[in-house]
Amino acid sequence: MKQYVIGLISGTSVDGIDAALVELSGSTQDLRVALLAGATYPYPEALRSQILSVCEGAALTMTEFAQLDEAIAQVFAQAAIAIQAGQPTATLIGSHGQTVFHRPPGSTGESQSLSALPSQLGYSLQLGRGALMAHLTGITTINNFRAADIAAGGQGAPLVSPVDVCLLSHPIYHRCVQNIGGIGNVTFLPAIDSEFRQTKPILGWDTGPGNALLDLAVHRLSQGKLTFDRNGDWAAQGTPCQMLVQQWLQQDYFQQPPPKSTGRELFGEAYLETCLADAASHTLAPADILATLTELTAASIAQSYDAFLPQRPDQVLLCGGGSHNLYLKQRIQANLDQAVVLTTDEAGLNSDFKEAIAFAVLAYWRNCGIPGNLPEVTGAQKSVLLGDIHLVS
Ligand SMILES: Nc1ncnc2c1ncn2[C@@H]1O[C@H](COP(=O)(O)OP(=O)(O)OP(=O)(O)O)[C@@H](O)[C@H]1O
Ligand SMILES: [Mg+2]
């Protein structure tokens, strides 16, 4: 039976809330998704800067914490209401919320046993109270998707991989679905046989920086006038310093095998400071610095494919805001030579709203009692139901 579901997410870029209203039917292999409406609702500037400073470690009192949690729930609820204008009314919301803290399990990224000390498990915090959203919208809301996977020893990320499997697997091509948000994440989709079985293991992990370092650098180099490098035009005027890129690629996170996940805790302001300090000894112009950071994103993606996949993909399907960065896309193509670099639009799935669509699907699965994590991707010990259900009282 078909159901209208809203998916909401604000990712590590903290640029705004991506909202998707979808019509869903089927379950997993026969899942059908039609995107009825998609929009991005920017955060009010004051709320965005507060979130960014909290992500950078700013301390909050519990009163401030509660206010922030509620303020985020309110703007998410407004996005859910706005996306339904002129559309059928949704009966379910899947809200990822806003990540403000992410600690992957352990220090090695290996999956943990259930007897692990709590401190060896991961911890990931998304704000935007589900009960308040259900109250404000009058729609059952599911949120807190990462906690159950983490409690089962997983990374709690990437969570979109099972949705990629259902919607983007191909009978001939081995595909990588590469999301480029603030952080990048990949799902490797081996070609499927006639019974929809993957011919090789499905894999997935956070590749490292997507746009996060670039956005911070653009803000810094433009003296606060710009927040991102539109289409990659600024970086395209520069030349990447390959020596620096090679040096940065030696870093532990890039060497660590999956399952692995990361966030602004690693690839944030302090990381950019180190990059800029390294760049100072190479006399680089601002455009060269941006080209070098863009190259880090592209080369870290390609290096991780070479290191951790059984083979190079035939196709790379980009999605997320970074897929609009044409210079980045060109550099990913250059780093992956014979793989064809496309966007998920070219495979029939909207590249701007794929992550929001995925959280609508995860909520739908939760509601149907279908486990939503892929243990082979997150490293969890087992498949679990993802998300907390908040009914409208
Ligand atoms: N036209 C464009 N040219 C270059 N970069 C763009 C363009 N449009 C968006 N971006 C980049 O994409 C970012 C937003 O992407 P997106 O919303 O996918 O990331 P996110 O919020 O971190 O999401 P998630 O974590 O869910 O993947 C912006 O901060 C910007 O860096
Ligand atoms: Mg975003």
**Which amino acid, 190?**
P
Query: Which one of 13, 75, 96 would you pick to mutate in the ligand 1 pocket, going by the greatest count of ligand atoms within 8 A of its CB?
Result: 13
Of the ranges 53-67, 187-201, 215-229, 327-341, which one carries the lowest mean pLDDT score? Answer: 187-201
Q: Which of 372, 182, 179, 200 is nearest to 265 (CA)?
A: 182
Neighbour-count burial of 224, counting CB atoms closer than 10 A to its CB (0-12 exposed, 13-18 middle, 19+ buried)? exposed
Q: How many CB atoms lie within 10 A of CB 44?
A: 12
Between the CA of 209 and the centroid of ligand 2 the distance, in Å, is 14
Q: Which listed CATH number (3.30.70.1140, 3.30.420.40, 3.40.50.150, 3.30.450.20) goes with 3-159+353-390?
A: 3.30.420.40
pLDDT in tens, 313-340: 999 999 999 999 999 999 999 999 989 9
Which residues have CB under 8 Å from 339's CB, separation 6+? 176, 312, 313, 314, 315, 316, 333
With a cut of 70, say whether residue 379 has pLDDT above it.
yes
| Domain 161-347 of CATH type 3.40.120.10 | no
pLDDT band at 109 (very low <50, low <70, confident <90, very high): very low
pLDDT in tens, 129-155: 999 999 999 999 999 999 999 999 999
Between the CA of 162 and the centroid of ligand 2 the distance, in Å, is 20
pLDDT in tens, 240-266: 999 999 999 999 999 999 999 999 999
Which residues have CB under 8 Å from 224's CB, separation 6+? none
Between the CA of 208 and the centroid of ligand 1 the distance, in Å, is 14
How many residues in the chain?
Answer: 393
pLDDT band at 182 (very low <50, low <70, confident <90, very high): very high
Q: Which atom of ligand 1 approaches the CA of 319 most closely?
A: 18
Residues 97 and 63 sit within 8 Å (Cβ to Cβ): no
The dihedral sign for the CA sequence 288, 45, 357, 122: positive
With a cut of 60, say whether residue 114 has pLDDT above it.
no
With a cut of 70, say whether residue 356 has pLDDT above it.
yes
Structure tokens at 6: 């809203």
Residues 156 and 149 sit within 8 Å (Cβ to Cβ): yes
Q: Which atom of ligand 1 approaches the CA of 185 most closely?
A: 27
Is 161-347 in the same CATH topology as 3-159+353-390?
yes
The predicted pLDDT at position 35 comes to 98
The average pLDDT across 180-188 equals 98
Q: Is 250 helix (H, G, I), strand (E, B) or coil?
A: coil
Between the CA of 198 and the centroid of ligand 1 the distance, in Å, is 30
The model's pTM: 0.96
What phi and psi values does residue 64 have, to the nearest 5 degrees? -65, -35
List 316's β-bridge partners, or say none.
Answer: 176, 341
Residues 4 and 91 sit within 8 Å (Cβ to Cβ): yes
Domain boundaries, the chain: 3-159+353-390, 161-347
